[in-house]
Structure 1
Amino acid sequence: MNRIRDYQGRIFSGLLIIFIGVLFLLGNMGKLDAGEVFSTYWPLILIFIGLWHLIAHEFRSAGFGAILILIGGFFMLVNLDIITGRIWLYFWPLLIIAAGLWIILKPRFKPFQAKAPEIKEKDLDAFIIFSGIKRRFNTPEFRGGKATALFGGIDLDFTQAALADNKATIELTAIFGGIEVLVPSDWEVVVDSSSIFGAVEDKHKAVPPAETKATLFIKATAMFGGIEIK
């Protein structure tokens, strides 16, 4: 049976929209300058998204969330005049720190070539920015992994693969990008999703228990992007 649980993401999205609406309502009522408030506190959006990303991934995939919090915190300090002067003197060391955090918190990262249509690897580990990749897995012992699409697209085809011990877990993150997953018709797909201004769609046909040969667990996060399972 397929399960999609995006309650936390919907709460976050709803609260953010309500906050923006209240901000402009108060501005139209003359109670505050909505433009000034937004120009000062916009970095909080980065901080909140970073925190949400950490919580949604149960702090297991902390690199992206930590970097968003670090960058948002820096600009928040600049806007509050806590950091003054030539801010770029502070910002480029911040980028170096962020790169170090990324290396520490995502040790398994390795770039993939743009095109590798068929692979026999047992694990999934993909991260793309402003590009796209297609992966067709042809292994009898796929064990799971992670894929992140940031301003890009990832296509994953498992129709020729089999799962180690008949079960595996993959974590998918789409941020201003998209991920498409193709799975065999005799796999059960269990989806646990969170979305903020995005969508996670499970279009895979449900499989009767007697016909299920394997179970793929998918933990999906979509922010201003989409993830589709077929």
Structure 2
Amino acid sequence: MAYRRLSNQSLVGVLIVLVGVVLLVDTTGLYDTGFLLTYVPSLFVLVGLYALVSSDFRNVGGPLVLVTVASAWQLVALDVVTVGRILRFWPLLIVLVGLSIALGRVRPSVAEVDDDRFDLVAAFGGLDRRATSKTFTGGNVTVAFGGGELDLRDTLVPAPPARVNVVALFGGVDVVVPRDWNVRLDVLPVFGAAEDDRPRREAEHDGVDLVVTGFCAFGGVTVTN
């Protein structure tokens, strides 16, 4: 029997659902989950570390700040240290921002992805990828509290349409496509926008090369060339 690996996007969705269930159980009085809520900061620490690793340490600034703040928050929640003592170290945030700027200058800003399918996640930072596969089929892009750009101009789709699912929460994603591609945009915006900014639109020629689906909240998804 073949098993399909759970995508990063699915993992993020499952994580959000679990947090929502814990909060719902607590607010409705079904069970006291206060002891679980005490460890919520650790969840943000894991998210920051995951964002560092999944970006191949290209996205450094936002995740480092998130890990630092969430770690301090967790120590306070566990009564290990006081808020006053933590506040003494606020200049550390300035140091982290400076390091992220310095590291950003020595690392390439755009990374190539040559897989037929990709599964990209960026949290509290940026994501810039250029796909180069000549047998491109699609992928997933998840951005939270940040922005991203996915460049598909160097790809070929032998069996159209390719499908890209985008989830943007408090951030935006730009999908850059070749000029001759016909793109169908089927993204649900909530307090956000999903737009095709290209001069050529779906109704102007036959066939569909790319279908962009997904969801955006307090952010946007834009198709451009």
Calculate the TM-score normalised by the size of structure 1.
0.58
2:55 to 103, 112, 121: 112
Q: Is the 8 A contact 1:136 1:156 kept in 2?
A: yes
Note the alpha carbon deviations across 1:107-141, whole angstroms, 9 max, x for none: xxx81332443332222210111111211122221
Q: Is the 8 A contact 1:220 1:227 kept in 2?
A: no
Structure 1 vs Structure 2 CA RMSD:
3.1
The letter of the residue matching 1:151 is: F
Note the alpha carbon deviations across 1:73-122, whole angstroms, 9 max, x for none: 3223323444348x2256549x88xx9xxxxxxxxxx8133244333222
Query: How many residue pairs are counted as aligned between the two chains?
Result: 157
- Aligned CA distance change for structure 1 residues 77 and 187 (closer, same or farther; 3 Å): same
Structure 2 stretches lacking a partner, 5+ long? 1-8, 47-52, 59-108
Answering whether residue 175 of structure 2 is matched by residue 227 of structure 1, we say: no
Answering whether residue 168 of structure 2 is matched by residue 174 of structure 1, we say: yes
2:152 to 148, 153, 158: 158
> Within 5 A, what are the aligned runs for 1:1-230?
62-84=10-32, 87-89=34-36, 92=39, 111-113=54-56, 114=58, 115-204=109-198, 205-206=200-201, 208-209=204-205, 215-230=209-224
1:148 shift after superposition: 0.4
Note the alpha carbon deviations across 1:50-69, whole angstroms, 9 max, x for none: xxxxxxxxxxx643343333
- The share of aligned pairs that are identical, in percent, is 26
1:145 shift after superposition: 0.7
Q: Is the 8 A contact 1:191 1:220 kept in 2?
A: no
Partners of 2:210 and 2:196 in 1: CA distance = 12
Partners of 1:189 and 1:83 in 2: CA distance = 48
Q: Structure with the greater relative contact order (CA < 8 A, sep ≥ 6): 1 or 2? A: 1
What secondary structure does 1:172 align onto? strand
Q: Is the 8 A contact 1:200 1:220 kept in 2?
A: no
